Amino acid sequence: MTHPRICYEIFVRSFCDSNGDGIGDLNGIRSKLPYLQEFGVEAIWLTPIQPSPSYHKYDVVDYYGIEPEYGTLDDFKNLLTEAHARGIKVILDLVINHTSVRHPWFVESAKGKASPYRNYYNWKSPEEIEALGIATREATPDTWERKPWHSAVGNTEKYYGLFWKGMPDLNCDHPPVRQAIYEIGNYWLEMGVDGFRLDAARHIYPEWEEYKNYDFWVEFRTEMQKVNPQVYLVGEVWNAADKIAPYFRGLTANFNFDLSLALQKITAEERDTVHLIVTLAKNRQVFAQTNPRFIDATMLTNHDQTRIGSVLHGKQTHLKVAANLLFTLPGQPYVYYGEELGMLGQKPDDFIREPFLWGYRQHDRERARWMKPKYSKSVTVTPLVGQQNDPNSLYNHYKRLIHFRKSNAVIGSFYGQIEPLPNRNPRLVAFKRGLAEQEVWVLHNLSSTTVTYFASFMPTELLLTTDTASRFEKVDTISLAPFSCVVLGE
């Protein structure tokens, strides 16, 4: 079994409502498996589906249950069976850095120092916190919390909650906690789940002992492989590439946040101001030094970032360029649900998680209605039904790119070589990718003007062109239509 080549992130609450209660659910996702299969997806990552008091469910109260708003365990098993029948793997969001304050472990832990669950969490006296100099921290992109120690009624000691007082961090130095985590993971793998997206993977241990995370994930993987030797683990390590590298010791894949930001920037600016390929090649080398079988999980944006649609102000030309880049670079692309429609959304978080637009307004019976969308509505974004029959739609552009990527061994590979082609034009991103004996050239025009590229020798076959106006002028010169991409091979 190989790992999925194209993945799709589903914010469960907003994807598809099967029973008309306004909340996206598991049966809704199951009903859309034919859609996802046709689109070309090989795995779906579901945001947390376990019981939780919040709308996003990143604060779990029962690791063995299914959130009743989303369905039942049988619904989930049916989803799993049908996804597998369609060649789609299922990746669950596993949130083990912290629990909800309402999780029974925390309720017990907060009862006092004598509680058998006390050490499931990190408790320290205010004096100790001061003495260690850990009372405050600097904000990071993944958490703005500056004062991570919180008071609990009836306790003089404070507990550590990196993200929020409602999400106390588990204490992974406590062997029963580790054991509990492994049992949870194994439970879902035994059911047939293919892997996990590991929330807050860099925060398992507090920041002053981050290095302990690397070994933690190695041990976690070993424990998961006892059930599924092919288990797929993708980490959320929201940090610079060199800080991500050590996580590849334990994890199959890690999201590349630097690349996400770089793709957004150069597409918006229509110029490669970040030396995209040089930087990416260097980072990939750093990853490979830790683990030559690393998988670079790439994306334009995810559920924690302003949607690419809004970053690029809904401009279809630019959204197509962003997709061209994503699907021709090495790695394992993730599509955030609705991105293929050009859905819009800006922070606060709810508004980057708006309902998927299957159809138009009241005719859309599958649309989730748990929130009133601010950005993505039928008037601002063409729903799927309006894009499917339009060959020029963003949806069909995505679909063509995905199918091209899957049809070309070099382009679709996690591995192989990537290096920049000689090029002095910042409007152009030009690189070659190699795998075994094969080589392809990829040229992207980021700008609104036609760009010409010359090389004394270049491959002669046009494997992909996103605009029929892009063409060879001579055997050594190719002209690229505005915002277009070509892939050349032998």
- Minimum distance of Ca ion from residue 40's CB (angstroms): 26
- Minimum distance of Ca ion from residue 306's CB (angstroms): 26
Q: Which is nearer to Ca ion, 14 or 332 (CB)?
A: 14
Question: Stretches 24-32, 35-43, 59-67, 381-389: which one binds Ca ion (CB under 5 A)?
Answer: 24-32
Residue nearest to Ca ion (CB): 169
Q: Which is nearer to Ca ion, 169 or 339 (CB)?
A: 169
Q: Which is nearer to Ca ion, 206 or 314 (CB)?
A: 206
Which ranges of 312-454 does DSSP label H, i.e. alpha helix? Answer: 316-326, 384-387, 394-407
Residue in 42, 59, 199, 270 annotated catalytic: 199
Question: Stretches 79-87, 91-99, 207-215, 250-258: which one binds Ca ion (CB under 5 A)?
Answer: 91-99
User: Considering only residues 137-176, where is the footprint of Ca ion by CB under 5 A?
Assistant: 169
Token pair, residue 124, equals 């320290």
Q: Which is nearer to Ca ion, 6 or 167 (CB)?
A: 167
- Minimum distance of Ca ion from residue 297's CB (angstroms): 21
In the beta sheet, which residues pair with residue 278?
A: none
Interatomic CA distance for residues 17 and 19, integer angstroms: 6
- Minimum distance of Ca ion from residue 459's CB (angstroms): 49
Let me know if 439 is a catalytic residue.
no
Token pair, residue 285, equals 């080398």
Beta-carbon contacts of 428 under 8 Å, excluding residues fewer than 6 positions away, are 272, 443, 444, 445, 446, 451, 453, 480
Across the beta sheet with 149-151, the strand order is: 123-124, 158-160, 149-151
Q: Which is nearer to Ca ion, 14 or 328 (CB)?
A: 14
Contact 427, 420 (CB under 8 A): no
- Which residue type occupies 457? F
Interatomic CA distance for residues 120 and 176, integer angstroms: 8
Total residues contacting Ca ion (rule CB under 5 A)?
8
- Minimum distance of Ca ion from residue 470's CB (angstroms): 45
Q: Which of 19, 151, 179, 449 binds Ca ion (CB under 5 A)?
A: 19
Q: Which of 6, 12, 17, 60 binds Ca ion (CB under 5 A)?
A: 17
Number of neighbouring beta carbons within 10 Å of residue 452: 12
**DSSP run (H or E) holding 463:** strand 461-465
Contact 238, 244 (CB under 8 A): no
> Any idea what DSSP says for residue 405?
H
Residue in 42, 236, 354, 366 annotated catalytic: 236
Q: Which is nearer to Ca ion, 31 or 279 (CB)?
A: 31
Q: Which is nearer to Ca ion, 23 or 280 (CB)?
A: 23
Q: Which of 47, 97, 267, 423 binds Ca ion (CB under 5 A)?
A: 97
**Residue 465: C-alpha distances to residues 108, 397, 451, 457, 489 (Å):** 61, 11, 14, 19, 12
Interatomic CA distance for residues 155 and 265, integer angstroms: 47
Question: Stretches 12-20, 225-233, 378-386, 452-460: which one binds Ca ion (CB under 5 A)?
Answer: 12-20
Contact 224, 233 (CB under 8 A): yes
- Minimum distance of Ca ion from residue 406's CB (angstroms): 32
Number of neighbouring beta carbons within 10 Å of residue 426: 15
Q: Which of 7, 13, 16, 25 binds Ca ion (CB under 5 A)?
A: 25
Find tokens 């552009």 and name the residue.
397
Q: Which is nearer to Ca ion, 15 or 404 (CB)?
A: 15
> Any idea what DSSP says for residue 1?
-
Task: Give the pairing type, strands 89-94 and 195-198.
Answer: parallel
Question: Stretches 95-103, 295-303, 371-379, 458-466: which one binds Ca ion (CB under 5 A)?
Answer: 95-103
- Minimum distance of Ca ion from residue 26's CB (angstroms): 9
- Minimum distance of Ca ion from residue 200's CB (angstroms): 7
Question: Stretches 14-22, 246-254, 452-460, 463-471: which one binds Ca ion (CB under 5 A)?
Answer: 14-22
- Minimum distance of Ca ion from residue 170's CB (angstroms): 7
Question: Stretches 21-29, 249-257, 417-425, 465-473: which one binds Ca ion (CB under 5 A)?
Answer: 21-29
Annotate 50-102 with DSSP letters as a single string: S--SSSS--S-S-TTS--TTT--HHHHHHHHHHHHHTT-EEEEEE--SB--TT
Binding status of residue 5 toward Ca ion by CB under 5 A:
no
Q: Which of 6, 10, 16, 23 binds Ca ion (CB under 5 A)?
A: 23
Q: Looking at the chain, how many residues does it have?
A: 490
Token pair, residue 126, equals 């205010």
Site string for Ca ion, 191-230 (x = CB under 5 A): ------------x---------------------------
Interatomic CA distance for residues 110 and 63, integer angstroms: 19
Contact 421, 276 (CB under 8 A): no
Q: Which is nearer to Ca ion, 32 or 318 (CB)?
A: 32
Interatomic CA distance for residues 329 and 420, integer angstroms: 12
Let me know if 258 is a catalytic residue.
no
Token pair, residue 442, equals 């990829």
Question: Stretches 22-30, 43-51, 458-466, 476-484: which one binds Ca ion (CB under 5 A)?
Answer: 22-30
Query: Can you give the binding site for Ca ion, defined by CB under 5 A?
Result: 17, 19, 21, 23, 25, 97, 169, 203
Active site residues: 199, 236
